[in-house]
């Protein structure tokens, strides 16, 4: 039992969720390593949603509300940390949920599907019939016909650079959540949210609720005003400034 007073309470709870998901077979072995990398960046960012991240979240909410067929891609780490929030976000945007695994096994797909259904998902895509996006025959380039394959906006948390590139090249708006502002995914995505997924998805739900009554023109304006490379530069600047003032 971890005491709430422990200075690293949130971080320790996340570690527990990650190790528990690994024990249950939901998380890939390398999911633990990926989480550790994320933790290091979270530490540098001050373990809170920074101002640039909040702006990216607002732009992402606008893109999701404007989408015709928005899809949320779920991997092992996402399922381990925020299964309920993913379902809530899908409901808020009228979007679909699709399982997409880098280390894909049928067993993991079934376990993640069960977890999402337990958390209230009505439908989970990516479990059987899959098509290849473009001609790249990697497991990561697969997508379900009604989901990512035909989506116009895709939210891909903790993604790898290749797939982000494939999705962008096929004309989709790609939103990513990745604590590493220098990753290829962050640099290739249309909107990169440099924040921990445990904070970013609840913040996205809140932003969607805040913006849902705006007109299409107003939402488009939010998107036009957002500049992804500039947002990443601001995040990197913030990490640097925290050397002198960790309170920033």
Nearer to ligand PTJ, 75 or 173 (CB): 75
Candidates 73, 75, 231, 235; binder of ligand PTJ (CB under 6 A) is 75
Candidates 10, 37, 168, 242; binder of ligand PTJ (CB under 6 A) is 37
Residue 193: strand pairing partners = 177
Q: Is 181 in the site for ligand PTJ (CB under 6 A)?
A: no
Interface positions, 159-178, toward ligand PTJ (CB under 6 A):
160, 177-178
Min dist CB 134 to ligand PTJ, Å, is 19
Half-sphere exposure of 175 (CA within 13 A, CB side): 31
Candidates 57, 60, 197, 222; binder of ligand PTJ (CB under 6 A) is 197
Min dist CB 52 to ligand PTJ, Å, is 15
Work out the number of other CB atoms within 10 angstroms of the CB of residue 206.
13
Candidates 71, 89, 158, 201; binder of ligand PTJ (CB under 6 A) is 158
Candidates 73, 180, 192, 231; binder of ligand PTJ (CB under 6 A) is 180
Min dist CB 82 to ligand PTJ, Å, is 9
Size of the site for ligand PTJ (CB under 6 A): 24
Nearer to ligand PTJ, 38 or 147 (CB): 38
Nearer to ligand PTJ, 102 or 226 (CB): 102
Q: What are phi and psi of 198, to 5 degrees?
A: -70, -25
Min dist CB 218 to ligand PTJ, Å, is 29
What single string gives the DSSP state of each residue in the chain?
A: ---TTSTTHHHHHHHHHHHHHHHHT-S-HHHHHHHHHHHHHHHHHTSS--HHHHHHHHHHHHHHHH-SSEEEEE-HHHHHH-HHHHHHHHHHHT-EEEE--SS--HHHHHHHHHHHHHTT-S--BSSS--EESTT--SGGGEE-TTTGGG-SEEE-TT--HHHHHHHHHTT-EEEEE-S-TTSHHHHHSSEEE-S-HHHHHHHHHHHHHHHTTS-HHHHHHHHHH--HHHHHHHHHHHHHHTTT-TT-
Candidates 30, 51, 110, 212; binder of ligand PTJ (CB under 6 A) is 30
Candidates 17, 21, 28, 207; binder of ligand PTJ (CB under 6 A) is 28
Min dist CB 202 to ligand PTJ, Å, is 12
Among candidate residues 128, 126, 10, 40, the one with its CA nearest the CA of residue 79: 126
Q: Is 124 in the site for ligand PTJ (CB under 6 A)?
A: no
Q: Can you give the binding site for ligand PTJ, defined by CB under 6 A?
A: 28, 30-31, 34-35, 37-38, 41, 75-77, 81, 101-103, 158, 160, 177-180, 183, 196-197
């Amino acid at each position: 039992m971890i005491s709430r007073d422990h200075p690293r309470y949130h971080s320790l709870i996340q570690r527990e969720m990650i190790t528990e998901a690994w024990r249950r077979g939901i998380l890939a072995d390398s999911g633990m390593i990926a989480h550790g990398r994320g933790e290091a960046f979270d530490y540098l960012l001050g373990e809170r949603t920074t101002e640039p991240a909040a702006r990216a979240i607002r732009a992402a909410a606008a893109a999701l509300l404007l989408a015709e067929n928005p899809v949320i891609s779920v991997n092992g780490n996402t399922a381990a940390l925020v299964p309920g929030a993913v379902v809530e976000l899908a409901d808020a945007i009228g979007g679909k949920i699709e399982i997409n695994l880098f280390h894909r096994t049928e067993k993991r797909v079934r376990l993640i599907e069960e977890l999402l259904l337990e958390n209230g998902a009505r439908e989970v895509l990516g479990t059987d019939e899959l098509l290849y996006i473009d001609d790249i025959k990697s497991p990561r380039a697969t997508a379900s016909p009604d989901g990512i394959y035909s989506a116009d906006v895709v939210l891909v948390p903790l993604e790898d650079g290749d797939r982000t590139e494939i999705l962008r090249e096929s004309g989709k708006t790609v939103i990513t959540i990745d604590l590493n502002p220098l990753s290829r995914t962050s640099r290739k995505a249309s909107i990169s949210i440099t924040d921990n997924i445990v904070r970013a998805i609840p913040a996205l739900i809140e932003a969607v609720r805040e913006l849902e009554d705006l007109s299409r023109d107003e939402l488009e304006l939010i998107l036009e005003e957002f500049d992804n490379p500039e947002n990443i530069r601001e995040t990197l600047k913030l990490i640097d400034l925290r050397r002198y003032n960790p309170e920033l």
